[in-house]
Amino acid sequence: MDPIGGEPLRVLLISTDERTRDEVAEALTAGTADHRLYWVSQASNALSRAQDVVPHLVLVDHGLEGEDELAIIRQLVRSVPTASVLALVEWDAMTRASQAVLAGARGFVMKPLQTSDLLTAIKQVMVKPTATAEPEERAREVRGRAVVFCAPKGGTGCTTLALNTAIALHQRTREPVALVDADYAAPALDVALNLPADRTINDLLPRLSQLDDDLVSGVMVSHVSGVQVLLAPPPEGVASPIPLQQVQQIMVALKRIYPWVLVDLGLPMDETAYAFLDDADRIVMSVLPEMVGLRNTRLMLSQLHGRGYPDERVWLVLNRSSLPGGVSRKSIEERLGVDIRNEIPDDQALATHAVNRGVPIMMGGTRGAVAKAMAKLAEELVRDLRPRALRSEEAGADEGGSLLRRLIPRRSDER
């Protein structure tokens, strides 16, 4: 790591943990001999010390013994605008990591600290973006809801469900929708949507320190439905799994731009996959009415529960529910001990024809049973995740006789 403008790299660490101080010192020594590390163990002194030192980089540790590190990050960004701020967070505190970025941090590093991860993050954030919004303004802009579609095995129709739900959401809300292909082993959205794969997530990874709305939007591929798609590279274009913190940065940027971010998640369930799941407001799991799939579903549900995801966050959708000889819904719910949220009827011929033509079911010119079921799923997502303020506004629009019917009031018997 080169010195900044010919002078030593000045790093201010705000942490109550001596071990963290030692880990940061070791990483900086390995990365550059020309640096100065300043340590503040009392968060109340952080701002005055930062104004004295005028650091190039500030590292704010998670868990400052009663102090609000998010408030500290906001103060530092406002009072020392020349400094880049990185948050240090525990591996299981991804929500806090996202909040730190929204508060103004340029990124975050997972603890326990690894030298290579810290040095990579420092190199990225020391490249100044061309323009940044005020933290409070950025926080107000972030309103996106993330819905991740996954499956316990291949061939469950997860991709078909994800892309058609994205289109149904856009048709229903008239709001921008981002669709992310996160099946890096077998990407399919480019084929299913008949899109050129000349721009992919690989175009964002080297420029994470410069993520702004224009850069992200420029990499998204527009579909005729109005949905914006972040494509995956071909499998040979993925040299290694995308690190968790990079996924988190991209998701934060997408949710800042798009009210809805839908992710088509592939297998295996590695740390990259869990990075997307950790950020999800709802996890939609597509299952088939057959025994092998149910065994895998039980295993996947166990993994999600072990990860700490609450039951209400995971929605089970029974795909091809009317499959001849398939296991009944009641039997599936009894075997899994989980309620099925939605059903998509069986019409494999229609699904295959739609993929082969590159024309999604929701745009096929008909409103058959499959399309209606997918529209119903989109409606339930809107009803469940839309902010209450917007629900009230839209309810008022209904009373006024608006032609654009919005949210349907939740019935007492709905889950």
- pLDDT at residue 135, rounded to an integer: 46
- pLDDT at residue 257, rounded to an integer: 92
As a dihedral over the C-alpha atoms of residue 16, residue 20, residue 22, residue 27, rounded to 10 degrees, the angle is: -140
- pLDDT at residue 1, rounded to an integer: 55
Other beta carbons within 10 angstroms of residue 390's beta carbon come to: 16
Whether the predicted model's global pTM rises above the 0.95 cut: no
Please say whether the beta carbons of 357 and 174 come within 8 A: no
The helix/strand/coil state of 106 is coil
Place of tokens 């505190």: 93
Render pLDDT for 278-313 as a digit per residue (tens, 0 to 9).
Answer: 889 999 999 999 998 899 999 999 999 888 889 999
Alpha-helical runs (H) found in 126-265: 135-141, 158-173, 189-192, 213-219, 244-257
- pLDDT at residue 346, rounded to an integer: 94
Report how far residue 100's alpha carbon sits from residue 256's, in angstroms, rounded to the nearest whole number. 14
Torsion angles phi and psi, residue 126, rounded to 5: -75, -10
- pLDDT at residue 407, rounded to an integer: 32
- pLDDT at residue 148, rounded to an integer: 98
Please say whether the beta carbons of 46 and 71 come within 8 A: no
Report how far residue 316's alpha carbon sits from residue 30's, in angstroms, rounded to the nearest whole number. 48
Looking at domain 9-135, its CATH superfamily turns out to be: Response regulator (3.40.50.2300)
Domain range list for the chain = 9-135, 145-385
Amino acid at 66: G
Radius of gyration of the chain from Cα atoms?
23
- pLDDT at residue 317, rounded to an integer: 97
In the chain, what is the greatest distance between 2 CA atoms, to the nearest angstrom? 74
Residues in the chain: 415
CATH of domain 145-385: 3.40.50.300
Residues of the chain with pLDDT under 50: 128-142, 388-389, 391-393, 395-415
Whether 9-135 shares its CATH topology with 145-385 is answered yes
Please say whether the beta carbons of 311 and 280 come within 8 A: no
Other beta carbons within 10 angstroms of residue 196's beta carbon come to: 8
- pLDDT at residue 389, rounded to an integer: 36
Please say whether the beta carbons of 181 and 190 come within 8 A: yes
Measured between its terminal Cα atoms, the distance across the chain in Å is 54
Report how far residue 77's alpha carbon sits from residue 307's, in angstroms, rounded to the nearest whole number. 33
Handedness of CA 188, 199, 126, 146 (dihedral sign): negative
Find, among 35, 52, 43, 36, the residue nearest to 14 by Cα.
43
- pLDDT at residue 89, rounded to an integer: 87
Report how far residue 345's alpha carbon sits from residue 357's, in angstroms, rounded to the nearest whole number. 21
Find, among 102, 92, 112, the residue nearest to 15 by Cα.
112
Segment holding 335, helix H or strand E: helix 329-336
- pLDDT at residue 338, rounded to an integer: 93
Amino acid at 329: R
